[in-house]
Amino acid sequence: MSIEVRNLTKRLGGKTILDRVNLEIPEGSLMALLGPSGSGKTTLLRVIAGLESPDEGDVLVRGESNTVRRPQDRHVGFVFQHYALFPHMSVRQNVAFGLDVKPRALRPSKEVIRARVDELLELIQMDSYGSRLPAELSGGQRQRVALARALAVEPKVLLLDEPFGALDAQVRAELRQWLRRLHDVSKVTTVLVTHDQEEAMEVADTVAVMNRARVEQVGHPRDIYDHPATAFVARFVGQMNQLHQVADGTAFARPHEMELSLDASEGEAAQVVKLVSMGPLARLRLRLPSGLELDAHLTRERLAQLQITEGTHLFVRPGKVSIFADDYSI
């Protein structure tokens, strides 16, 4: 177990930011901490890094308590949302920083540092940018430099705080795939904080969903989507229709689980109020006589088969229903 978070509690000004959080992150894996803003995910990352100290609990890295060490002795690589590059240093100087500041006895020779920086610049595909200043780079390039700078000191764990949050959608998608490939090569235990479920699902081996200072569910991305443990996870990860109250909670169904038909014997009457058809999938918004609105996703073929347009009256039935005890979080 590379990182073990034990019963971690952190309070700030009377507010509980982390509430008895337990988490295990296996050596060499990539875990995403997914949650809405204010759920405590960034604070958890900062406590693991040693930038914040917990009120209770402990963080073990490879079996040793990490909370008692000074930040500079933790061997943690950290990447900030807004890059935090040193503005007066060139790309090379930024990447070399962690090696340059080592105590003389441990510091590699100038030639070794230069070779290591060359290697990292090649890894981030920025060999020809070594002498540029951070101000002369795009956001995506800056974040790659920040990542190379963190990897230069060969950290035991790599912590990424919303690393692609400040970038536009296309660059995000590219960097995401690039990060995954990088992780497959480097195998450094990595924790990625994000509020973007697509990012978490696409990149991570394991996703930990956080809500209101607690971890609600930890699991493989597919399991989290298919078998959400709580109503919050069900609604936060992927789209979810909230159907009706039942004896022990509320019934939910995913939009792609909604079965549509023109046959009155199959489900409740509904009218199509909006239809967006893009790519292989059509997204429908249905309104029931009760006023309840539901989302349904279906294939182009099924859409053509049923001859659905905006305004069509049809019948809807959830194919698979999940029931969760009510929480009052939303």
> Which residues, 6 or more positions from 313, have their beta carbon under 8 angstroms from its beta carbon?
269, 270, 271
Backbone angles phi, psi at 120, to 5 degrees: -70, -40
Scan residues 9-28 and list those touching another protein (CB under 8 A): none
**In the complex, least distance from residue 86 CB atom to another protein, rounded to whole angstroms:** 6
Which amino acid belongs to residue 272? Answer: V
**In the complex, least distance from residue 113 CB atom to another protein, rounded to whole angstroms:** 13
**In the complex, least distance from residue 120 CB atom to another protein, rounded to whole angstroms:** 13
- If one asks whether residue 166 binds another protein (CB under 8 A), the answer comes out as no
Scan residues 256-295 and list those touching another protein (CB under 8 A): none
Closer Cβ to another protein, 84 or 275, answer by number: 84
Closer Cβ to another protein, 137 or 175, answer by number: 137
Binds another protein (CB under 8 A): choice among 60, 123, 153, 321: 153
Report the alpha-carbon distance of residue 30 to residue 203 in Å, rounded. Answer: 8
Task: Decide: helix, strand or coil at residue 318.
Answer: strand
Answer yes or no: are the C-beta atoms of 157 and 79 closer than 8 Å: no
Nearest to 231 by CA among 204, 295, 246, 220: 246
Closer Cβ to another protein, 44 or 314, answer by number: 44
**In the complex, least distance from residue 161 CB atom to another protein, rounded to whole angstroms:** 10
# chain residues binding another protein, by CB under 8 A: 30
- If one asks whether residue 98 binds another protein (CB under 8 A), the answer comes out as yes
**In the complex, least distance from residue 158 CB atom to another protein, rounded to whole angstroms:** 11
Binds another protein (CB under 8 A): choice among 30, 78, 270, 324: 78
- If one asks whether residue 74 binds another protein (CB under 8 A), the answer comes out as yes
Closer Cβ to another protein, 145 or 224, answer by number: 145
- If one asks whether residue 6 binds another protein (CB under 8 A), the answer comes out as no
Task: Decide: helix, strand or coil at residue 52.
Answer: coil
Task: Decide: helix, strand or coil at residue 163.
Answer: coil
- The mark string for 128-147 relative to another protein (x by CB under 8 A, - otherwise) is -----xxxx---------x-
| Residue listed under structure tokens 């995913």 | 254
Q: Beta-carbon neighbour count of residue 157 at 10 Å?
A: 22
Binds another protein (CB under 8 A): choice among 35, 40, 77, 130: 77
Rounded alpha-carbon distances, angstroms, from residue 27 to 44, 80, 156, 247? 18, 22, 9, 43
Answer yes or no: are the C-beta atoms of 295 and 239 closer than 8 Å: yes
**In the complex, least distance from residue 97 CB atom to another protein, rounded to whole angstroms:** 6
| Structure tokens belonging to residue 108 | 């590699």
- The mark string for 99-118 relative to another protein (x by CB under 8 A, - otherwise) is --xx----------------
- If one asks whether residue 50 binds another protein (CB under 8 A), the answer comes out as yes
Binds another protein (CB under 8 A): choice among 12, 26, 27, 71: 71
User: DSSP per residue over 215-274, as a string?
Assistant: EEEEE-HHHHHHS-SSHHHHHHSS--EEEEEETTEEEEE-GGGEEEES-TTSSEEEEEEE
DSSP state at residue 73? G
Contact set with another protein (CB under 8 A): 49-51, 71-74, 76-78, 80, 82, 84-88, 97-98, 101-102, 133-136, 146, 149-150, 152-153
